[in-house]
């Protein structure tokens, strides 16, 4: 055993500082594949190489437009999404884009609704399985009944487009056509959608209960029964009747047609809006709620050939005119007549304005026929406009329908 003397230094093994530096910079036992990856100790980084390796962090503004649109889509559309108001770049890019792929993705994500949300996937198979138990003669005579065709049609009309998408500024006849091509020609407003989602499953359950009653009646009887009478008796049975009254299904019929065009589309009409309205009427079968306003906009805003095309398409499709429609249409007729009177005398008969005036006159006659046929009463404003028009034939037509000059 030894003793330690205080104050006496002991020898310590020290490595060569030069060798230590070389070993750190360029190890002797470097792996072969690292020679191509690591820089040699003789090379020293320059200012150019340092700046070339530094990348600025990406920002939203540097992202491609496609990625920006995907982010905008996932955030959501409408008032809750304010991405387009962050800066001028976003305001120019996001709301005005019309790429087909983005339009389809946006509408499919936010505005395509499943109406059979509570309906079982096996309901149609279960329904048909029960139906096949009826006698073949009964199935043949009952094949075209709404009792069978309507529940089957609900599978075809399962998805619809929410009409709220029509409020966006980028909606025109091209975007509406693309929506119909990829997403179907079935559009409903939010109120109808919520009602369908709530009542469709209950309606199918009630139909199935009645069908089970009908099948049991035929299986328990050997007589030749009338299918309409059996159906009526089955619907009034205790269980189906109580179920129908409980969920107010007496006045409910599943929707298989598009709702009318939203009234908001008729505000501040433009040629692009008019074209979109016409496509919605042609492809989606959506009714036109403000016929007079649309006809007036066609005459005032559209070019001659396009206006005549729209007027020819709408012939016979408008079956209802209210007071506002009649007044608006009279004002458009007066406007068109004034344009004809301003044209040269030798060209009045063949001018485009004269052709529009003739077409619009026929619409005016039909509008008065439907207006007075609905039991509407005379109005002072209507007769003031009729007097300004100075068209005796139109006044005689109104009088023949029961109108009284004021």
Length of the chain: 406
Least confident of 99-103, 245-249, 394-398: 99-103
Q: Phi and psi of 112, rounded to 5°?
A: -100, 120
> Who contacts 400 (Cβ-Cβ below 8 Å, separation ≥6)?
none
Residue 118 pLDDT more than 80? yes
DSSP string, 84-129: GGS-HHHHHHTTT---HHHHHHHHHHHTEEETTTTS-TTHHHHHHH
Whether pLDDT at 176 is above 80: yes
pLDDT value at 281 more than 90: yes
Q: Are 244 and 250 in contact (CB under 8 A)?
A: yes
Tokens encoding 397:
């037509």
Q: What is the pTM of this model?
A: 0.73
CA 369 → CA 287, 362, 364, 366, 399, distances in Å? 19, 11, 9, 5, 11
pLDDT tens per residue, range 70-85: 777 777 766 666 777 7
Give pLDDT tens digits for 191-239. 999 999 999 999 999 999 999 999 888 888 777 788 888 888 998 999 9
Over residues 256-265, the pLDDT tens digits come to: 999 999 999 9
| Non-local CB neighbours of 175 within 8 Å, separated by 6+ positions | 98, 103, 276
pLDDT bin (cut points 50, 70, 90) of residue 287 is very high
CA distance 328 to 243: 48
The H or E element spanning position 160 is strand 159-162
Q: In what order do the strands lie in the sheet with 159-162?
A: 112-114, 159-162, 187-188
Return the closest-CA partner of residue 133 out of 214, 208, 209: 214
Are the C-beta atoms of residues 76 and 111 closer than 8 Å to each other? no
pLDDT of the residue at 46: 59
Q: Tell me: pLDDT of 45 over 70.
A: no
pLDDT for the residue 58:
73
Paired residues of 358 in beta bridges? none
Average of per-residue pLDDT values in the chain: 81
CB atoms within 10 A of CB 200: 22
């Amino acid at each position: 055993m030894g003793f330690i003397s205080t104050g006496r230094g002991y020898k310590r093994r020290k490595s060569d500082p030069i060798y230590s530096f070389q070993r750190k910079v360029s190890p002797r036992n470097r792996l072969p594949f690292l020679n191509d990856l690591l820089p040699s100790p003789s090379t020293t980084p320059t200012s150019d190489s340092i700046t070339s390796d530094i990348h600025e962090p990406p920002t939203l503004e540097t992202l491609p437009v496609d990625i920006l649109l995907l982010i905008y889509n996932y955030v959501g559309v409408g008032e809750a999404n304010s991405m387009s108001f962050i800066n001028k770049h976003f305001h120019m890019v996001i709301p005005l884009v019309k790429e087909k792929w983005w339009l389809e993705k946006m509408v499919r994500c936010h505005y395509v609704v499943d109406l059979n949300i509570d309906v079982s996937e096996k309901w149609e198979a279960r329904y048909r399985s029960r139906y096949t138990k009826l006698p073949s003669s009964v199935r043949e005579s009952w094949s075209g009944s709404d009792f069978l065709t309507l529940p089957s049609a609900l599978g075809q009309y399962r998805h619809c487009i929410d009409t709220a998408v029509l409020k966006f500024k980028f909606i025109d006849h091209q975007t509406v056509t693309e929506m119909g091509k990829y997403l179907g020609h079935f559009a409903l407003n939010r109120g109808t959608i919520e009602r369908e989602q709530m009542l469709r499953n209950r309606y199918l359950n009630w139909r199935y209960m009645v069908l089970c009653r009908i099948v049991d009646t035929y299986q328990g009887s050997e007589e030749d029964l009338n299918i309409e009478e059996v159906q009526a008796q089955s619907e009034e049975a205790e269980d189906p009747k109580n179920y129908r009254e409980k969920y107010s299904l007496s006045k409910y019929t599943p929707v298989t047609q598009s709702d009318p065009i939203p009234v908001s589309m008729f505000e501040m009409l433009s040629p692009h809006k008019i074209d979109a309205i016409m496509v919605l009427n042609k492809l989606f079968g959506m009714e036109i709620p403000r016929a007079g306003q649309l006809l007036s906009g066609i005459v005032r805003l559209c070019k001659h050939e396009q206006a005549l095309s729209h007027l020819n398409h709408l012939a016979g499709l408008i079956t209802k005119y209210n007071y506002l429609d009649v007044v608006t249409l009279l004002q458009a007729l007066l406007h068109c007549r004034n344009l004809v009177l301003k044209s040269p005398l030798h060209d009045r008969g063949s001018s485009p304005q004269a052709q529009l005036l003739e077409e619009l006159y026929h619409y005016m006659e039909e509008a008065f026929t439907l207006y007075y046929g609905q039991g509407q009463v005379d109005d002072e404003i209507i007769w003031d406009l009729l007097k300004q028009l100075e068209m005796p034939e139109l006044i005689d037509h109104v009088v023949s329908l029961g109108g009284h000059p004021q």
